[in-house]
Amino acid sequence: MSKEIFYIPNLLSIFRIILIIPVGYLLIYRFEKSNTIVIFLLFLMYVTDLSDGYIARRLNQVTDIGKIIDPLADKISVVIIALIIYFKGLIPTWFILIVILRDLLILSFGIYLKNKKKITLMSNYPGKLAVFSIGLILLFAIINSELLSEINSFLYYISTTLILFSSYLYLIRFFKIIGEKNHGK
């Protein structure tokens, strides 16, 4: 195993993955009694997500493993939390399908690029906004207040637009890289 796994940004991403265990447990088994703890843990996950990339650039610790672990931590977190909240009946089926399909698409293309072309495609800014909007929807669903529910109705449309737009940009970059690599041979 490479020593790069022990770089601070990569440890933060791994920590974010580990935090899914208590978050998932609390959401499944103690939903009504532990909202404050879950919200705190989600905030902690969000802070580690923001700080790992910043620290990686600041300390010159940007690594290929970090480019994989960070978005993987995001995908694992979003999908697991979204599925739990979906099964609690707090988000609609159409939204969970869009979120999961988006993540499967990005993950599949990312694996292809890494295995076939030795390239790790970084996330784009609209993709980061899409994940943030998904996170807000999930957070508001967990809080489960009537006011936030009305805001969430509007957020579904914003989030869906961001998901579609960022996926479109990701696909353009993917096919551009595939085209460049094929023409270079």
The tokens for 163 are: 């998901």
CB 105, CB 79: distance < 8 Å: no
Would you write out the chain's pLDDT as a tens digit for each of its 185 residues? Answer: 578 889 999 999 999 999 999 999 999 988 777 788 998 999 999 899 888 888 988 999 988 888 888 888 888 998 999 999 999 998 999 999 999 998 888 888 888 888 887 877 777 788 888 888 998 999 888 888 777 778 888 899 999 999 999 999 988 988 888 887 555 54
The tokens for 155 are: 């957020």
Give the burial class of 183: count Cβ atoms within 10 A of its Cβ; 0-12 exposed, 13-18 middle, 19 or more buried.
exposed
Domains defined for the chain, CATH in brackets? 3-183 (1.20.120.1760)
Q: Choose among 143, 149, 42, 147: nearest CA to 92.
A: 149
- Which pLDDT value is given to residue 183? 54
The amino acid sitting at 154 is: F
Residues 6+ positions from 144 with CB-CB distance below 8 Å? 35, 90
- Which pLDDT value is given to residue 180? 73
CA–CA distance, 42 with 23 (Å, rounded to integer): 8
- Which pLDDT value is given to residue 92? 94
